[in-house]
Structure 1
Amino acid sequence: NLKPFHRFYFTIPAANPNEQFYHFTTLFSWLLTKNDGGQFDTPGQFDDPNATVANMVAKLKDLELGGGGGGGGGDAITNIPLNKLKQGHGDGVLAVLLALVDGALWKSGSFAGFQRALHKVDEYAEEAEVDEDAEVTAEGVEEEQEEEEEDGVVVVVGKRAKRGGDDEGVDDDRDEVYVGAGAGAGGAPAGGDARTKAEDAGPKKVDLTDWRLEVERVTPLLRVQIPNDNKDWRIHLISASLISTRTHLQKLHTEISTQLEKLSSREKYINTQFEQQTDQHRILKDTASELKQKHVAASASVTELTRALSGISEELDAVKATMDDIGSGMTDSKPLVGVKQGVVKLKAEVKQMDLRVGVIQHTLLHAKLKTKGPAANEAHNMMQVKMKEEQHTTELTQCK
């Protein structure tokens, strides 16, 4: 029930060392059962790691890995320090897991018929790694090296040279010119004259088009293909499982092809049986599309008519409001009542003014009579009679 590990999981320390050690012990227990090494109980959370590692080493000794065709180095595995196994990562853990995996493969028969490859120590110098995906361009070639061919002389300018004499072994940044002359008529290489010619040669004009064509021609030849290494155990494993896998895949291909043919024939049969219904469905679909278009057009016209109706309704409401205002103004008697009340008030004020005028006249006449004597008294009496008549007339008018 563990998640898959990446290939470098047990190489470096993990974020959780306890979890890494638990994974190591769990994987060790499972591989031990594959090697017929008996049961190994996976340690719990509170178990002593030292006791667990000691039990693991004891199981490895009992298993005797490295004998026969199993995983190699049994003595070296049992001699691994316990503290390295307790870390849960590192060379010791990788060696134990590698030995158990090899032993499990031999036990399962996956390596049947194969002999363990004997790797000889390579005494030659290691070659530099070559990037197969690197592109070679004209600019890059011009920067890396300069080659000139004149009269069979090839001049290669490098960047690594060593000083001679007392400064032997010290790198020099100065360019060193190596001259290799072409073979003469007798096959003998040219001597110092060729070197002198190469050193005295000036810059040569190179056609850019020819240079690019030459680079395109040489570029495929500069790619290095690493040959298959027969020492790799994966090649043997692939070769062993190729026949059974190919047979299984061919059988699977045949079954899939048969099922596809059946599906195709069944599809043709169904299409033939329901051809009439398909035609009817197509006709009904066309009719439905036409009706849908008509419905869309009718909906548009209904929308326009609805807008026109709403405008007419608004105009009708405005006319009704105007008519109501005019009708209420015609039937309302409030202005007439106000006019009548104003007339009554004016009449009352006129009467009061007449009364005041009479009183003033009477007072004025009384004053004149006092100043004129008996003649004035007669006139005063006549005035009083007249005033009484007027007052009586006014009272009668008010009563009416």
Structure 2
Amino acid sequence: MGDEEFDEADIVDGGPGLAYMPFVVMEDLLDKLKLLDYEEEFVKELRMRPLSRHYFVLQTNPGEQFYMFTSLAAWLIQKCGTPFDQPQEFDDPNSTISNILDVVRRNGVTIDFPPSKLKQGYGEQAIFILDRLSDEALRNTHFQWGKPIPPSEVADEEEDLKDEAELDLDRVEEEMAGEYSDEEDDDEILHINDMGSALPMATSQRPNEILESNTDFDEWSLEVERVAPQLKVTVRSDNRDWRTHLEQMHTYRRGIDDALTTTRVHLDKLHNDIGRTLEKITSREKYLNSQLEGSLQQFRQLSDTLAATKEQYKQVSGGVTERSRTLAQIADDLEVIKAEMEERGSAMTDGTPLVNVRRALIRMKQEVANMNVRIGVLEHSLLQAKLRDRSNLQRDALNFAFANEV
């Protein structure tokens, strides 16, 4: 939302034409790339597609546009004389953008927008970076603009076209002279130059009285009818002339009208045949419906019966399914009970526990006997120790008494 407000404010400050400025810069960038021969060195060598006039202005495919932007920027940096690795499709976009911006900053260009704007691969920021890199590449290749050569004026060609479209009296006279020289005598040719040379003489002598014609009207009309077919003027037809196009339009219109007249008869006949066929089909349908009304009614009843039967079958099958599920559960419980009964029966008929009990009793008896032996040995040892202590006490008492007596 903030970017949109910022763009609108820029448009208001810079005028309505500022919104179309990226289109102009993109066209200039494309011209600079052509001057750098990018079609041979970039498009063919790296197998890229040629750029369109508005490739980086409008969004088409962000992933493809970003890869094209980074590849083109790397190529321009290499053209500037700075070593730079060609980016790959799976490289980190943040590191690639930071490397490109570092090179641009080293060239003295101030970056006043966040690097995230370049992740889109299109827009005013991407065009700005490529334009600055192309300028630096042109300076590094020592490119110089030549003097402008104005285009040649096309006025001569237009005059030639006008001369061809106009009627040239001298050319007509020559063509008429060449055409009539083989067919008629020289006396029947109309010489316009002779008439022109005779005209000043006639105009120089001014009559003093009103001239009146003594030629008979009928004879003049006959002479005009006799000479008129021989006065042929040939004018070259120009395909770009609007009269030619108009004549072609009239010709095509007449051809369409003639074809339509012939085709309309066939179409009317076809329409009548289709109408009669449809009427026959409708009458046959009505006849079949009237004949099969009873069968159709019976079919409807059977269909209703079949639907009711299917519904009843669904209900019954639902009960059968529920009972089958209950039966399966009961069978599982029965299997568990049978397994428990088999375990208990095998435990009742098996003598292994009794044998184990007997073995345990024998082992306990042996252990008790061993304990009794040990107890007897201990009692005997204790008795000997008591007797030893008593004899020692008696000896000590005797020795003490003897000592006292002495």
TM-score (norm 2): 0.30
Q: Identify, as 1 or 2, the structure richer in strand.
A: 1
Relative contact order: is structure 1 or structure 2 higher (C-alpha 8 Å, sep ≥ 6)? 2
Q: Identify, as 1 or 2, the structure richer in helix.
A: 2
TM-score (norm 1): 0.30
